[in-house]
Structures are given as C-alpha cells and as structure tokens.
Structure 1
C-alpha cells in the first residue's frame, strides 16, 4: 500500500482513497499489536486523506468517521484532551455530511455520542453527557431493530444514561438505562461475543438503581444478569475478572440488605477468583483486593471468626502496598485497613498492642494524604481519634488521649 501511494501523484483522484486504505491498515495493525506508532501513522494518513477529498465526495463522511475512531483510540491510550476534541470535531463533520436516510448515519451518530461521553469522563462537563445522549438517541431512532448494530447502539445509550445518573442522581436516568440495556440484551443472540458485556452492564444498572431505591428486586435482577455474564464468558477472557468483581459486589449488597450468610460467602468466593485472575500490574488490582478485604470484614462482623479479619488485613495491606501515594483511593483504603486492625485488636483476649499501633499508623497516613476540604476527612480523623483512645485504654499514656482530643476537634 505504501508503494502504491508513493507512485500516486498528489492531484490524482485515487490518492485520498489510497491514503485512507493505508490508514485503515495501520489501525488494524494497532488493534492487533497495540503499538502507538501504528496508531500515529494511521492518524497521519487518515488526516491527509480527509484534507485531499472534497466535502461533496460520497466517501468523505466514512473517512472522517474512521479518523474520529483513531483519535478516540489515541485518547484512550494517552488521555490527551486534544485527541478526544479532534475526535468530536471530525465525527460531528461526518454526521453533518450524511443524510438521515443513509445506512451509516446511526453508527456515526453513536460514535459521536461515545466521543462526547469520553470527554465527559475526562472533564465532567454535564453538556458533554447531554450531547452524548442526544446523538445516541438519534442513532437508535434511525436504526431498525433488525439491524446487527442496534444492540450495540442501545447499549451505548444505556451507558450514557448511567453516566448522567452518576452525575445528577436522577432516577429517570437509571430507569432509562435499564430499559435500553434490557432491549440491547434481548436483541443480542446467546452466542454473540458482546452478550456477556451487555449483561454485565445491565446488572450494573440494576445495582445502581438498588443503591438509589433499596428495592430487593433490583439487587436480585443484578445478580441474575451479572451471573449470566460470568457464565457466558470463558476463563481467559480479559473482561471476566471485572464481571466477576461486579457479581461479588452484588452478592455483598444483598448480604447487607438481608444478612444471609450464603451471600457474603458467595461474594468472597467470586472476589477471591477475581484477585487470582488479575495480575499485580493491573490498574484495578488494588480496588479488587480492597473489595475482597471488605467482604472478609463483613463476614467477620457476622460470625466473629478471627481468620476473617486476618484475611481482610492481608488483602487490604496488599491493596495499599500496590497503590501509589498520589492515588485518590489510597486514603480510603488505608482507613479501611486501619479499621480492620482495630477490629482485630478488640477481638476476645487477643488484643495486641501491635494491632492498635498498626491501626493508628494506617489511619494517620490516610489523614495525611487527604486534603482539608475532602468530604471524608472528618470521618477519618474521628477513626484516628478512636485508635488513640484504644491505645490509651491499653497503655494509660496521657499523650494518647491528648492526641485523640486533638484530632477529634
């Protein structure tokens, strides 16, 4: 392709098409190998193709859409705002150049919506998620139910509604998300590669509504959908650990609602599997270890077995150790670890001074890493104060009760 392009003079009518083909080939190679240089070469070739082809040409919208996808892939990889802004500009142009009756318009509207949603995730601007919903809704209205892409576009719309729900906490958004995600699942055949992911998204939406309304039927529906997602996914699949994690969270939520031991035991079984399937370098490993620790702690609260609080401490310590100091979740995980040590220090006649000291060390670090205006800082200071009180009860040192008073004030 490169040779064909080199032999094609600039004014030749086939030059844009050959540049576009070369860009698509580089993007395919990027999808296969994950090399940034291939994606960058794809963008260079696709940009050149778009610049050379007139607006009235039938292939221009497709070339613009492909360029937008490449920019969005580069944004996902590097997190550069300029890439997602470029994606929005060129995909919007693709949509504007395409008449409503055109078969490709719904797909391009959906891509525009997901680009807006990506920028919303980066900047948190409400206008972006609203633009995403408008574009994807239009895509859904333009595409017939029988079209192979309809479930994908419905799923994208559901994700956008769920994102806005997370921002505004409006019940209508999570209800809309559930309606369209159910439709996406129903239109997707069982053997389809994307069915587990769509079931997982539906389960998460039910979990979100449960967190808002506390209706038992929602957490039960979440478990059914999340479980089905896991069952349809082979062990080696990259998405399986995340889907197991969501199932574990659903079991833990139902345990919190009903107090059934079988639920927290199911949560621990699947969360252990999640941790085992997640490599140490993975960005989500600390979160998954923290979740496992919380599940062990919940069972400890229920049964009072020392082994559970010890298992919680092992998981939570590993979560903390794998998380850099600047990470926004580190203070919360340190606070959780401190609470677990404090529970252990209060267990029967085993109250070890070393556990109280470890609790204070973790809680102190949580407080130090948290800025003053943070919503959780008062609670973490209070926990640190109770840690000092425990140490005072153990040792009778006046300095500990003074430290408790100071941090609780």
Structure 2
C-alpha cells in the first residue's frame, strides 16, 4: 500500500470547513489565513473520501489545494504537494493516466519549490516517488522503478527518524525494493524490503492513522520472502521442507492492518486482497504437506476477503486486474481440490476479466493472469482457453517491451513472457493449426531481432550501396512477417 498524508482527527468536517471558507471570502480574507482554511477543507474532503469513496470529495480537495497554492505563494511547495497527493488518490480509483500525469507534474513543481534536503523537500520528493511508482505499475517501465528507489532513498535520508513522515517513506521504499526484487531477483532488494518494512512499523506511533498501511507492507515483504525459500521462487514441491514462519507472520500482519485501520474505504481492498493471497499460499503449503482438509479450509477462508476486495475496486482502478488474478488463483485451487464445475467457471471468469482489464491499465498484471490461466488450462487440456489467454499475453508483452527505454529492461520482460510461448504454440498445434504454432514460437525471438535491425541503419552509411539495399529489403521482410503474425 502507498498510504497518503493525513491530518489531525480534530479537523472540521467538510460542511463546517466550507462554511468557514464562505465567511472568510465574505470578509475578504486572503493570504496564509485563507490557505489554512482551504487546507482544512481539503483534508476534510479527503478524510471523507477515505471513509466513503466518493470521487467528488477528491475533486473538491484538489480544487481547494490548488487555490491554497495561489493564495499563499510562500508555502507553494506545501499546497502543491497536497494537490499531488490528492491527485494520486484520484488516479488510484480512476486509473486515468491524465490524473497520474497531473499528479506527477504537481509533485515535481512542489519538489522544485522546496529547499533541497529539507524535511519539506523530502515530503514532496516522497510524493514524486508515488507518481513514479504508479507509472511503473501502469507501464512496466523499470526505469521509473529505479528512479523511484533513488529519489525515495534520498528523501528518507533527508528526514529525521522522529518526523511523522519517516515511517511512510521508509515503508514505501521497502516496497519499491520488493517490486525490483520480483523483477530482477537480486537478494539485496528482498532483504532491504523486509528490513525497511519492519523499521517503519517499529518507528510509527501507535495512533498513527497510517499504521495499518505499514503493517500491510510488512506482510507483503514477509510473504515475498516466504516464496523465496524455494528454488523456483514459487511454491514448494511435494516433499519439500516448508517453513511457515514468514507466511504465518504475513497473515497476522494483514489481519492487524485490517483491525487497526480507521478507514472503511481507503486501504481496505488492498489489505483484503493481500490477506487472501497469503492464505492461498499457506493453503498450498499445507496441501503439499499432506494436510488436505486444512488446505481446503484455508482456501475457502481466502476467497472471502478476495471477493470483497474485488467488489470494492472500481472497474477502472489500476489494481483491479491484479485482484482478479489472485481471486482466480484461489478459485482455481479450490476447483483443483473439489472438481466442482462452478469453481472452474468462476476461476475462468476471473482470469478472463483480469487479462482484459490489465491490457488497458496494467499490462504486467495481464502477463501474470495469462500465465496462471495458460498453465491451468493446459493441465485441463482446455486448448481453446490456452489460445485465448495466449492472445492476451502477446498483446501485454508487446506493450511492456515497447515501454522500456533500456535494453536490459526489455530483455527482463521478454524473459518473463517468452517461456509461455511454448504453451501457446502447443495449444495451437493441438487445435490443428500447425503453421500458427510455428509462428507463435518465433515471435518472442523476433521482437529483439527486429530491435537489433532497427539499430543498424545508423551504421549503413559505411557500407556500399548494394549492401544497404539488401539490408533494407531484409528489414522490410522481417517487419512484414511480424505484422502478418499478429
């Protein structure tokens, strides 16, 4: 979770704050006094949004913070940063990249306006980190993730440990390391994630309204480390020793987050889906340990929070695809254990919706959902389903590849999706489409080949004209083959 700044519980409710603003406007109040009243109104609307989820409250908060920045230029960094934070709230619900772009622009403006290295600069930089992080989730561009880690680490160093924002920044930087670990598999990132997440929980005040978020993030780090104990970084194999310490601690952390969180809307879907995910992993470990009845019970327990999490997530939210994918995995596992047709139907529907939703707002999530769906459908010899899921995978993998600015990052995404080409090709072959299967096998390799071909023209001037013509013709043939392949 990426919790936001909060204000004191003594702030007025929105109606009281608006009444105070009207009185101030009638009296001609301006400058810092007006800005403070606008801030009180903005924070009241945001708090009500966290409790009820009404988008109009967020739009009103953004408007008040923008007006505060105009009224009080001396504190422009403060009010512009509040604007950026409210816009990230808005993006989390709408998935509108325009909201994210506006949030990043405001965060950059706030960071530039603050004195570099000061606590206020650190708070503004931490908001910029959220914007970079959200854009990484939206596009899969690892350059944004690495920039977020670099800026977040600098912001953490600029804050004293006693500052109220220190725990927030520390926990978020821990989650950034976890995201990079999951993509690049460097153990230092995993250990940093667990350490920073635990430090954030330990440093936070007991009455910190964001403490639920820090417990949630600690659960994320622990659950990731639970999976890392196995050679393939997935789940254990039958007969393999399983240490449940980290997964049990993760479940407890998520339950703590849900119990202490004061908000009915903001954060709750995140806590719910993470709790469900941890219970799914725990159920699989129990099953492989021969404790089948306990495993089935754990899966049924997992479906409850996962279903609630999806129901609380708007259809345009950037995390909907991920939450549907986890729900699909839980339903899939239940179907495998019970063989019930309704569990198969609900799992298939969850994977299909996850794949389709993720294409528009989170292609990385489409890759993960397609992976799960393809492997499950292959085991059931459901070749039409494999082909459908593989189609989603191809489109998502292409979007992710094109979003990368650095070759190492492009290769990382190709590695993530290339192995599944074999499943897709096999499904096509089983359906009697041998030629299409051969094309499917070649498409992953052809992406980097076409990229190499695109780099060479800068060197062509050194070659005789007839070699240039031959090269150009070859490039044209490759591009036509890729286009014809879909």
TM-score by length of 2: 0.62
Q: Deviations 1:38-58 (Å, cap 9, x if unpaired)?
A: 22222223212213333xx2x
CA distance in 2, matches of 1:371, 1:194: 35
On the 8 A contact 1:203/1:224 being kept in 2, the answer is: no
CA distance in 1, matches of 2:392, 2:217: 37
CA distance in 2, matches of 1:174, 1:45: 40
On the 8 A contact 1:136/1:153 being kept in 2, the answer is: yes
CA distance in 1, matches of 2:170, 2:281: 23
Matches within 5 A, 1:2-401: 2-9=21-28, 14-54=33-73, 57=74, 59-99=75-115, 102-188=118-204, 193-194=212-213, 196-207=215-226, 209-210=228-229, 220-232=244-256, 238-251=269-282, 254=285, 259-262=288-291, 266-277=294-305, 278-279=307-308, 281=311, 283=320, 286-296=324-334, 308=337, 310-311=339-340, 313-322=341-350, 323-324=352-353, 326-327=356-357, 328=366, 332=371, 335-336=374-375, 338-339=377-378, 341-342=380-381, 359-366=382-389, 371=394, 375=418, 376-383=420-427, 385=429
CA distance in 1, matches of 2:286, 2:428: 28
SS at match of 2:175: helix
Cα distance change on mapping 1:363 and 1:238 into 2, 3 Å: closer
Number of aligned residue pairs: 362
Q: Tell me by how many angstroms 1:260 deviates.
A: 1.6
SS at match of 1:261: coil
On the 8 A contact 2:280/2:330 being kept in 1, the answer is: no
Cα distance change on mapping 1:213 and 1:231 into 2, 3 Å: same
Residue range with higher mean Cα deviation, 35-44 or 4-13 = 4-13
CA distance in 2, matches of 1:286, 1:201: 18
CA distance in 2, matches of 1:179, 1:213: 23
CA distance in 2, matches of 1:289, 1:18: 44
CA RMSD of aligned residues (A): 3.9
- Which sections of structure 2, spanning at least 5 residues, go unmatched? 1-19, 314-319, 358-365, 399-416, 439-486
TM-score by length of 1: 0.72
CA distance in 2, matches of 1:101, 1:334: 47
On the 8 A contact 2:173/2:196 being kept in 1, the answer is: yes
On the 8 A contact 1:139/1:153 being kept in 2, the answer is: yes
Q: Deviations 1:263-301 (Å, cap 9, x if unpaired)?
A: x6544322211213324745466424432244347xx6x
Counterpart for residue 9 of structure 2: none
Cα distance change on mapping 1:28 and 1:379 into 2, 3 Å: same
- Which sections of structure 1, spanning at least 5 residues, go unmatched? 301-307, 343-358, 389-402
Q: Deviations 1:226-258 (Å, cap 9, x if unpaired)?
A: 1322453557964553233232343366469xx
CA distance in 2, matches of 1:188, 1:218: 32
SS at match of 2:339: helix
Cα distance change on mapping 1:224 and 1:186 into 2, 3 Å: farther
Cα distance change on mapping 1:155 and 1:205 into 2, 3 Å: farther
On the 8 A contact 1:274/1:288 being kept in 2, the answer is: no
SS at match of 2:356: coil
CA distance in 1, matches of 2:33, 2:201: 42
On the 8 A contact 1:370/1:377 being kept in 2, the answer is: no
